[in-house]
Structures are given as structure tokens and as C-alpha cells.
Copies of this chain bind each other. A is one copy, B any other.
Amino acid sequence: MLELITQNRSFGGTQGVYRHSSTATGTPMEFSIFVPDHAEGEKLPVVFYLSGLTCTQANVTEKGEFRRACSELGLIFVAPDTSPRGDDVPDDAEGAYDFGLGAGFYVDATEPPFDTHYKMRSYIEDEFPALIAEFFPADLSRQSIMGHSMGGHGALTIALRNPDRFKAVSAFAPIVSPMNCPWGEKALSGYIGTDRADWRAYDACALIADGARVPDILVDQGSADTFLESQLDPELLVNICDAKGQPLTFRMQDGYDHSYYFISTFMADHLEWHAVRLG
């Protein structure tokens, strides 16, 4: 059921990388999980981290600098992959980085040929948490979710669609409105089709406009992010939250870019935010 790939002791806990056969995507899927040392039989709150375009679990696992804080706060930290992978999984026609492999956008695709394997919404919302609870000491009554860029979009939309499931949500440089940026328009038209009404379930700003609410949201954004204006446009989120009364803590971080040098800097802040809300 679960194949161990690597296991390393780190920061008073265990960092594992696993592979399993996913029902949702119909492919093998890899993920990483950090479990702090804990008492026999104890279950810990769990933070789901969704990665950005081109990433696998490895980017945050190696560069995210989350283990010290997770160990101190007693948090399990889980990082799934960003798309199905394999020889029979269709990719972008030109092999571009922003669609297909490494770019699942956390949607359930309805457009062929992507509708066979690209079921990242079902994977992350349903199959993956159940798998984590089955094999690890995770308390699913205390879940939270965060992500970066495309994964920030994933975290925000998944939390907004499942307000009772997640105690906290935060994002680093998220795509706040895929309906209004080139990355998102390409992904949603390719995976979901051209009817923009169908896109609204996959757009944080549209979900909030349509009435979805979570208790609060934390977003950090680097001011030197090269995608800030062309793709991310966090003002869209700030404005809709303001208009609709959705609590949002938005922090523009001066001089920081889109990389893990930015994410790692504010990772402990985010985990503390999550820990307070996870109880």
C-alpha cells in the first residue's frame, strides 16, 4: 500500500518520502511527511503543504526549513506532488512548465485527454488525507493547509470549499485568481474547458465573491517577485476580502522574491499561525 523511499532523522523527528498507488489519479504518487517525536498512541495535528509549478515534494522537503518549527510545535507536515506523473500521463503539447506534468493546478480535469489522470482535487481533498490518517499518527480533526504560488491557489480554494475541515489556511505568493492571469487561464481552459462559469470553483477570489468564507487567511508576498504583476496580483484578493468581509492578513515582504529563500524565511511564522488555530 505504502512504499518507503527514504527516511531520515531530522530535528527530533522523522522525515519520510513515500510512494503509493493513487485511486484518484490512477498513477503512483510520491509524497513527503515529517512526523515529530511524540508519545506512544498520541495523534498530532497535520499541515498540508501544496507546492507550486514545476515542483515535486522534494523542493519544500529540502529547502522549506519547516522541520524545526514543526518539531517545536508538534505538527505533522505533509507535502504531496503537484500532478500525476508517468509515461501514460499526458503533458503540455509543447512541454511547457505551466501545464501538464508538475502543473496539476489542484483541479479535477474534465477535458480529454487530461480527465483520466489529472484529478488532483479529489486526490488532495479526499484520498490523500485518508491515506495519511491510515498510516500516520495524524489527527484529522486538526487539519490545516498552506501552499506556494500554484499551491497557494490550491490551499486557498480547497480551504474555501471545505471551511469545516481546515482550522487554518495560509499561502506564500499565491495565484489568487487563476481566472485573471495567463497561468490560470491556460490551466483552467485546458483542464476544465472554456465555460468560465465552471472555473469559479477553482478561483479563490470568485469563491469569496460567491459567498465562501473561512475564519481568516494569512498571505505573504515578496515585493521583488518577478510574477507579482503578471500572474499573482494579490490586490484582487485584498479587494474582494475587503468587499466581502473575509478576514485576511496580507503582508508585502520588501525585497523578497518567488523562491524558497522567501518561503523558508516566513515558514516558521506560518506554522505558528497554524499551530495557534490547530489548538
Contacts and interface: CB of A to CB of B under 8 A. Distances in A.
A76 to B, nearest CB: 16
Contacts of A153: none
Contacts of A65: 65, 68, 264
Interface stretch (A6-14, A39-47, A118-126, A207-215): A6-14
A256 interface: yes
Interface string A55-95: 00000001101011000000000000000000000000000
Interface in A232-263: 255-257, 259-262
B68 A259 contact: no
A52 to B, nearest CB: 16
* Chain A interface residue bracket vs B: 20 to 34
A263 B241 CA distance: 42
A265 B63 contact: no
Contact of A10 (B8, B10, B12, B262): B262
A224 interface: yes
Nearest to A64: B65
Contacts of A265: 9-12, 67
Contact of A261 (B10, B63, B260): B10
A170 interface: no
A67 B15 CA distance: 21
A10 B254 CA distance: 11
Contacts of A67: 264-265
Interface string A3-47: 000001111100100000000000000000000000000000000
Contacts of A15: 261
Nearest to A71: B265
Contacts of A63: 62-63
A262 B9 contact: yes
A21 to B, nearest CB: 27
Contacts of A268: 68
A259 B262 CA distance: 23
A264 B13 CA distance: 13
A63 B65 CA distance: 8
Nearest to A266: B11
30 contacts: A8-B257, A8-B259, A8-B261, A8-B262, A9-B222, A9-B224, A9-B256, A9-B257, A9-B261, A9-B262, A9-B265, A10-B256, A10-B261, A10-B262, A10-B264, A10-B265, A11-B264, A11-B265, A12-B265, A15-B261, A62-B62, A62-B63, A62-B260, A63-B63, A65-B65, A65-B68, A65-B264, A67-B264, A67-B265, A68-B268
Closest 10 A-B residue pairs measured CB to CB? Answer: A10-B261, A8-B261, A9-B255, A11-B265, A9-B256, A65-B65, A62-B63, A10-B265, A8-B259, A15-B261
